[in-house]
Amino acid sequence: MNAVASSIERERRVADELLAALASIRRAARRHSGRPAELSSSTSAQLELARVVRRNPGISIAGAAEAMRLAPNTVSTLVGELVSAGLLVRRTDPSDRRVARLELTPAWRRKIDAWRDRRVTAVDEALQRLTADERRLVESALPALARLAEELEP
């Protein structure tokens, strides 16, 4: 195998290992925190929309679709389901009546926040069990990981 092929194979292995590590971290944090019973009837897509709206109160459907990398009509369907369930509020933007702005209901926001807080605590506790050097390595990798996420955006 020549040097170029070897380099490409190594880069693909790094990408594969990164995806596996990130997936494992997310799964372990979710298992540790457990999905609250009151969220058990929500689909993964609905919970992802809730997380997007939680981070961006007042986001539009188009903005949520972009953040989730889904088609706007797919997000619109999710919004309709959550509005019907009384978990999400859709308001007309006063400056552009064609645009709907999204907010979590206060009760659902508290549940989503509490679930997120448990996941953050689980990851924080795991980080504390790492050595100081390992924690510094994880922290120093965060800007590069954020940049990588930007590069993956369409």
Domain ranges of the chain: 34-152
- pTM of the predicted protein model: 0.70
HEC letters along the chain: CCHHHHHHHHHHHHHHHHHHHHHHHHHHHHHHHCCCHHHCCCCHHHHHHHHHHHHCCCEEHHHHHHHHCCCHHHHHHHHHHHHHCCCEEEEEECCEEEEEEEEECHHHHHHHHHHHHHHHHHHHHHHHCCCHHHHHHHHHHHHHHHHHHHHHCC
Q: How do residues 50-103 score in pLDDT, each as one tens digit?
A: 989 999 999 999 999 999 989 999 999 999 999 998 899 999 989 999 999 999
Q: Return the CATH architecture of domain 34-152.
A: Orthogonal Bundle (1.10)
6 has pLDDT over 90: no
